[in-house]
Amino acid sequence: MTEQRFVHAQWSSRLAFILAASGSAIGLGNIWKFPYLAGDNGGGAFVLVYLLSVVAIGIPIMIAETMLGRRGRQSPINTMRTLAEEAKTSPLWCYTGWLGVIAGFLILSYYSVIAGWAMAYFFKINSALFEHIDAASSTRLFENFKASPEFLGIWHTFFMVATMFIVSRGVSGGLERLSRFMMPALLLMLLVLDVYAMNSGGFGQGLAFLFNPDFSKLTGAGVLVALGQAFFSLGLGMGSIMVYGSYLPSDVSIARSSLFVIAADTLVALLAGVAIFPLVFANGLSPAMGPGLIFETLPIAFGQMPGGWLFGMMFFALIFFAAITSSVALIEPAVAFLSENKRMDREKACLYSGLACWVAGLGTVFSFNLWSDVKWLDKTVYEWVDMLTAEIMLPIGGVLVAVFAGWIMSKADSESELKLQNPRHYQAWLILVRYVAPLGVALVFLDAMGLL
């Protein structure tokens, strides 16, 4: 592209981008959601379909979104507007960027509340509350915690303040520095927890559940859940990868970097399962506990095992690390847009976007207590925001990114950005991004809408 774009900072190296983008992708979806979905859907067969979906859907869309970001060198909204002009197509494509920015903002509004739970449990697990606790008592403690708007609000505030402080430090001083510390620490803690799980007495049973496919336990609905998790766990369709791509130096390989990010994201999800399921089986608990697996079931396991309080604290610190690296990516597109279009300095853009997100998050806080009976079509505020983002906005955004990269952007432009040495690799990506990935995400969307 010949014209000069809004000047952004850039990642200092390919490693900096890989760590930051991995941090964006690795979050609650890997350590909280993936294990309980695998538990609910039979284990090994679900994991196999998940891995195949990552290859068919995650890789092509990750490459596409990163490519669009680097090509446009701006916030997702301005990037899509600029690339639409370059492709001489409708300016309405800028709404793909708007969709991602708004989705990321809304996701962070409730993501912050759930991450606050992990912050609180980091301290709770060390307070002897869970020592030799039974399932009923663990559930009661969790429900009582959620029933307090004061406690949820305090931890939501702490997490949002931490997020916006990091983002306000900029690309190199905030996002990059966070990723360089947090990602190796996250991996180290996971490996320590895996070693701990090896000595739990349920390691073989946990591995068999996670990696031995039993397709009799996998339903058609489970296949679609695996498809959706492969897409959502990578943080695609919400503008984060696009804005991170806009900071990527021109001499860095998009495809190779994206593969590293996807490999890291998938590895963390599997390592989390390896850490969690042996503890569940060793203590005679059920893997099919749904969303309560982390906050209700695992504390029982930690409370019954020698040194469990220490490894419990490490586990909830791990969740916090994963959450904070994702949260900074969720709000970065909005901060970049305010910086570009309103010419705000970064600190002011962080203050405004962070305050607005904190206020929006109070809807989720109150959904578990003061507003728990306030429902529309049998859904609370939190459930509506979750459904709107995960089941509507992100799938539509993912399909639009794939369609624009595969069909609207010229082959000459995409080839020049990707710089793939083997023409067959480019053709394989083009087939996946044009046909396979949009179809897979569309199936997830149709299933969520109850149309399948």
Task: Give the pLDDT confidence score for residue 211 in this predicted structure.
Answer: 94
Q: What is the pLDDT of residues 174-197, one digit of tens each?
A: 889 999 999 999 999 999 999 989
Task: Give the pLDDT confidence score for residue 81 in this predicted structure.
Answer: 96
First to last CA, the chain: 43
Task: Give the pLDDT confidence score for residue 232 in this predicted structure.
Answer: 86
Please state, in angstroms and rounded to a whole number, the distance separating the CA atoms of residues 74 and 160.
24
**Mean pLDDT for all residues in the chain:** 91
> 2: pLDDT confidence band, cut at 50, 70 and 90?
very low
Q: What's the mean pLDDT in 11-15?
A: 90
Q: Is the pLDDT of residue 430 over 60?
A: yes
For residues 46-79, one letter each, b for 16 or more C-beta atoms within 10 angstroms of the residue's C-beta and e for the rest, the string is bbbbbbebbebbbbbbbbbbbbbbbbbbbbbbbb
**Can you spell out the DSSP letters for 190-242?**
HHHHHHHHHTSS-HHHHHHHHHS--GGG--HHHHHHHHHHHHHTTTTTSSHHH
How many Å is the Cα radius of gyration of the chain?
21
Task: Give the pLDDT confidence score for residue 133 in this predicted structure.
Answer: 82
Please state, in angstroms and rounded to a whole number, the distance separating the CA atoms of residues 46 and 311.
27
Nearest to 225 by CA among 29, 24, 432, 431: 29
> 1: pLDDT confidence band, cut at 50, 70 and 90?
very low
Domains and CATH numbers, the chain: 14-448 (1.20.1740)
Q: How many CB atoms lie within 10 A of CB 217?
A: 14
Q: What's the mean pLDDT in 82-93?
A: 97
Q: What is the pLDDT of residues 16-51, one digit of tens each?
A: 999 999 999 998 888 878 888 888 898 899 999 999
Q: Is the pLDDT of residue 299 over 50?
A: yes
Contact by Cβ (8 Å): 38, 274? no
Q: What's the mean pLDDT in 286-303?
A: 79
Question: Which of 128-142, 239-253, 265-279, 284-298 has the weakest average pLDDT?
Answer: 284-298
> 110: pLDDT confidence band, cut at 50, 70 and 90?
very high
Higher pLDDT, 126 or 214: 214
Q: What's the mean pLDDT in 257-283?
A: 92
Q: What's the mean pLDDT in 415-437?
A: 96
- 162-165 contact pairs (CB < 8 A, 24+): 162/324, 163/108, 163/112, 163/324, 163/327, 163/328, 163/331, 163/354, 164/331, 164/350, 164/351, 164/353, 164/354
Task: Give the pLDDT confidence score for residue 42 in this predicted structure.
Answer: 85
Contact by Cβ (8 Å): 241, 231? no
Task: Give the pLDDT confidence score for residue 8 in this predicted structure.
Answer: 63
Q: What is the pLDDT of residues 366-394, one digit of tens each?
A: 999 999 999 999 999 999 999 999 889 99
Q: What's the mean pLDDT in 257-272?
A: 95
For the chain, what percent of residues have pLDDT higher than 70? 98
Q: What's the mean pLDDT in 323-349?
A: 93
Please state, in angstroms and rounded to a whole number, the distance separating the CA atoms of residues 16 and 120.
30
Exposed/middle/buried for residue 119 (C-beta within 10 Å: 0-12, 13-18, 19+): buried
Please state, in angstroms and rounded to a whole number, the distance separating the CA atoms of residues 105 and 347.
17
> 118: pLDDT confidence band, cut at 50, 70 and 90?
very high
Q: Is the pLDDT of residue 75 over 90?
A: yes
